[in-house]
Chains A and B, each alone.
Chain A
């Protein structure tokens, strides 16, 4: 009874799986072995070893579906490495991710239960290897180093370059597994069922069908040998799965600062009710140019704050980051970055970028961190309805620090919360241009509405230049002089 069972099990496996699943004692011959109850198993294994080890004639496997046999063989790995090297994506290291059918887990559990069910009175050792590695683990161990050697690039588990391998077996060959899967006990959620979130609903849908991990885990948890016996017949048919490869590079990030010289160019695409207001934007000018250079499919623009369409951004510029999805080009020399920068700067006179550099995903947090501590310097051209004299300008220059209470300006009231914000303005320097015009330079806390500080927004920003001068003022032009943030660091490309 046991003898037939064990022969059947061994017949279902490839040589690597045999070594993996059965206890290591079975593979060691010593003189004392001759009389033990399992010496016949050792002989049977020995025969299998002779016929299958290092054989190029792959038969497949009832459990690993050829993963540890054909798909960890040198000739296959060479082919894989060639495909990866020819995928057209630059990479300096790689990681491997592996998708297999979860039927593997199910079948392995069955074999384990069978082996454990053999009474020790018949065979005196435990047949199941207590240190049995999973197919996925072993496949990675067997393949990563040969791949490193063939590709000439190191394996790094946090690498941004993902070699996605997918091994699939035709569902028709997994008939027994599917039927077994249908018998699983789906846990009933007790009590009042809450309205599921979108994510939870999606998860539930996935859970309902096919060889998903939660489904298989449910069955493995039950570990019902009798039930499994009804569905599985030994030996398993020895199968070889089909193989697909996809190489994907994780998003990469570029950072820099941009300058805006136009009062008719918006920062991001300005679309109202599906209609474009402006032909282009800063985001699109540089995003599309770099997207093309990098061969990326998509880009996401993030910046440290924004300015109105009629505000220039000068001086050090405003920090931004660009995230590129599935890029082809991923390694940049300073010369190449300088070239990209030149390409953008020469394509338009409305804007420019500087300090373009490669950053990691972690670095992007630097830009978002502590935005409250950031300050910005502005230069505003103002106008006064009444005549100004040097006393007025002195009054402004004597201000050390102005603490403002700003109610949400009317111009953004339709899309911002109604609240009163406390902000401060420092380093005020005013210069009289003529009787009615003056230029004021100042440093403000992030989030200060500067235009409202000048005209007072119907008295809703207090104090304003109007209340300080006790004369009606208005703003004509506004320039951002600098966004005082240490990120991204300045780079000298030696122009």
Chain B
């Protein structure tokens, strides 16, 4: 197969162009994944308390999906095991139509949910259970919470950047650029972490 998928990650382009490149012989690793193709990543670090790092994936149609960043402590699977998730915000059931009338508005600083973890490697005086609070990071309409996480909370650790998303948000179109201005872009995030923690970096590259 001499196919190569090219993806323009410019702001307004999400068209996929498939090029025949006879030159490329190796078959692996040049396809962008689903999330890389359609989404742009934005990071917000240390929300409310240290290391509470969040990742917002912004689809080209301006629908935002909320994740935890690779540097978030939950992803240290040697230390933590997720046992339960408890949503603080829920989708308004009266939300209707393509314009999402009556959708619940959430504030950037409002907690979305609590993730309860068992602490596997206890330090001194540390309790056996700990919870992390996940925030929405955007002023937006709450469109969807991930109900699969309630049944399978382990997805948060197993697939933190695909199926382990926390919520889908729709920020107001005209406020997006303002809201994203204090987020880190993907490359800024990589640079910042390169010095502090090489291990996490490896995580991201996977």
Chain A residues within 8 Å of B, Cβ to Cβ: 263-264, 272, 309-310, 381, 383, 407, 410-418, 433-437, 455-459, 474, 476-477
**Contact among A414, A415, A476 for B3, CB-based, below 8 A:** A476
Given the complex, which residues of A lie within 8 Å of B27, measured CB to CB?
A: 434-437
| CB neighbors of A among B52-108 (8 A) | 59, 61-63, 65, 95-98, 100
Given the complex, which residues of B lie within 8 Å of A458, measured CB to CB?
A: 35, 65, 162-163, 165
Chain B residues within 8 Å of A, Cβ to Cβ: 1, 3, 5, 12, 15-18, 27-28, 31, 33-35, 38, 59, 61-63, 65, 95-98, 100, 143-144, 148, 155, 159, 162-163, 165, 168, 170
**Contact among A309, A381, A417, A418 for B15, CB-based, below 8 A:** A309
Interface pairs A-B: 5 shortest CB-CB:
A459-B163, A414-B61, A455-B34, A310-B16, A413-B63
Are the CB atoms of A310 and B100 closer together than 8 Å? no
Chain A nearest CB: distance from B31 CB in Å?
6
Are the CB atoms of B18 and A263 closer together than 8 Å? yes
Whether A414 contacts B170 in the complex (CB less than 8 A), given A310-B16, A433-B1, A476-B3, comes out as yes
Q: How far is the CA of A312 from the CA of B2 in the complex (A)?
A: 19
Given the complex, which residues of B lie within 8 Å of A418, measured CB to CB?
A: 95, 100, 143-144
* Chain A residue at minimal CB-CB distance from B95: A418
Q: How far is the CA of A436 from the CA of B18 in the complex (A)?
A: 17
Given the complex, which residues of B lie within 8 Å of A383, measured CB to CB?
A: 31
Whether A413 contacts B61 in the complex (CB less than 8 A), given A458-B165, A474-B34, comes out as yes
Whether A415 contacts B98 in the complex (CB less than 8 A), given A410-B65, A433-B1, A458-B165, comes out as yes
Chain A nearest CB: distance from B34 CB in Å?
5
* Chain B residue at minimal CB-CB distance from A459: B163
Chain A nearest CB: distance from B35 CB in Å?
8
**Contact among B5, B59, B96 for A410, CB-based, below 8 A:** B59
Are the CB atoms of B162 and A417 closer together than 8 Å? no
Main secondary structure of the interface of A (DSSP, over half): loop
A-B contact pairs, 21 of them (CB 8 A): A263-B16, A264-B17, A407-B144, A410-B59, A410-B61, A410-B168, A412-B61, A413-B168, A413-B170, A415-B98, A417-B98, A418-B95, A418-B100, A434-B27, A437-B27, A458-B163, A474-B31, A476-B18, A476-B31, A477-B3, A477-B18
Q: How far is the CA of A272 from the CA of B13 in the complex (A)?
A: 11
Are the CB atoms of A310 and B62 closer together than 8 Å? no
Given the complex, which residues of B lie within 8 Å of A457, measured CB to CB?
A: 34
Chain A nearest CB: distance from B42 CB in Å?
16
Q: How far is the CA of A474 from the CA of B3 in the complex (A)?
A: 14
Chain B nearest CB: distance from A129 CB in Å?
60
Given the complex, which residues of B lie within 8 Å of A417, measured CB to CB?
A: 96-98
Whether A411 contacts B61 in the complex (CB less than 8 A), given A418-B143, A433-B1, comes out as yes
Q: How far is the CA of A434 from the CA of B2 in the complex (A)?
A: 12
Max chain B Cβ within 10 angstroms of own Cβ: one of A412, A414, A416: A414
Q: How far is the CA of A381 from the CA of B16 in the complex (A)?
A: 14
Whether A436 contacts B28 in the complex (CB less than 8 A), given A272-B12, A310-B16, A414-B170, comes out as yes
Given the complex, which residues of A lie within 8 Å of B35, measured CB to CB?
A: 458
**Contact among B33, B96, B148 for A459, CB-based, below 8 A:** B148
Given the complex, which residues of A lie within 8 Å of B155, measured CB to CB?
A: 459
Are the CB atoms of B59 and A411 closer together than 8 Å? yes
Given the complex, which residues of B lie within 8 Å of A459, measured CB to CB?
A: 148, 155, 159, 162-163
